[in-house]
Structure 1
């Protein structure tokens, strides 16, 4: 039986239960599309400010989540998310960036990490892969937004490198959860994407994709991210993968691929409440 790291709580939030049980001050999870105030095509809990929804509705939805989590928007930190692999360390000086406006998000950033308390790291999704990083020994947390471009640019390994090089944390002390995202059977890509995948996995025999039709392949982005993280030194037993597929379950999730690009966004979140 495959282990699912996320548990649905409070009717609209998924939580990484094992991590939260290990550290009562840790909060980590993923929103669904349930429980908000939005209207089609963004119904209901759209928390993305960049999808042409009414900003006032989006902020109402973010406030709903903030109340459920007990962390106000003034303590949220959001990156701009340009499908790149740039990472930044967050401090209390960054609190509020991207919380209420798109313009205030940290520019050019798809990865965030911190060890400071009372900061909620936030990233937005509608099929891309959310990566969660946690070291209980060092009280360090992080998030990375990994679409196919960010994945082949190795945003996951770059987060590991940031922690090992800049923070003195061994890769063996880092836990990673790969969150809800589009699954292999729903994610068809062309040869240009596959070439980029092969370039970052030159020696592995088991490819994270299979042919679907001439010039096209079904790509398992979650599996690709796991292999890249293992290559970066994270023990495979430290990595857990959600079985939730955003494109196969549009009752629970927004899906850019399944909903023809006009849809809302969920958010990944991780934070350490004050001890």
Structure 2
């Protein structure tokens, strides 16, 4: 597997686990973060090897071991992980210490959650992705962190802005203090949508025609990063 490194993303490897970090976050001593790859786990077959989903038919013990390995690599405890329950919306959940382990070692008490926020140093936020855009938020002043899952629906519904607004309203953050990282996801080269989706974006105040490439048969390629 070829892993690309850029000014905004750094490739890391520890104990066989390969993952990405944001150099802009590396200087913040109060957080540990990472975006997993498929390398370094124990899953087999179609799930090889670092599968972190319990809902796709993989052996649960393999997924649990993958979480243990990935969390150890980035320097956190897998028992403290809180996983979202994504449905392509803009609902955000404020994760507390009492939520540690939800989605990994015990059941979640929430549904339809595409973003997580916390100010607790022993809570590890986890959102999951296929090809949608992962958003990581850090306020180094208030020491608040968040993650959000932005597919085209979440992007059109402004989940990034919703997350920032919640950080400000619930934790006293200021928008100008918040750092945001965009992790690997599908690019404009490959993400095709149809005309109804294009028209949803075209009605937005922030609409930018340069983010779309028209194709035959009413199709468009869209740049979700922009």
TM-score norm. by structure 1 comes to 0.75
Is 1:15 aligned to residue 18 of structure 2?
Answer: no
* Root mean square deviation of aligned Cα: 1.8
Task: Show the counterpart of 1:27.
Answer: 32
Distance 1:198 1:100, change over 3 A: farther
Distance 1:72 1:105, change over 3 A: farther
SS in 2 for 1:124: coil
Q: For the residues of structure 2 that align with 1:105 and 1:57, how far apart are their CA atoms?
A: 24
Distance 1:216 1:93, change over 3 A: same
Q: For the residues of structure 1 that align with 2:40 and 2:34, how far apart are their CA atoms?
A: 16
Q: For the residues of structure 2 that align with 1:19 and 1:75, how far apart are their CA atoms?
A: 20
The Cα of 1:3 is off from its aligned counterpart by 5.2
SS in 1 for 2:153: helix
Could you tell me which runs of 5 or more consecutive residues in structure 2 were left unpaired when the two chains were aligned.
Answer: none
Could you tell me which runs of 5 or more consecutive residues in structure 1 were left unpaired when the two chains were aligned.
Answer: 224-275
Larger relative contact order, structure 1 or 2 (CA cutoff 8 Å, min sep 6): 1
Count of aligned pairs: 219
Is 1:122 aligned to residue 131 of structure 2?
Answer: no
CA offsets per residue over residues 158-206 of structure 1, 9 Å max, x none? 011112233332211111111100000011111121122123x235454
Distance 1:63 1:137, change over 3 A: same
Task: Show the counterpart of 2:67.
Answer: 62
Task: Tell me if the contact between 1:78 and 1:105 (Cα under 8 Å) persists in the aligned partners.
Answer: no
Is 1:97 aligned to residue 107 of structure 2?
Answer: no
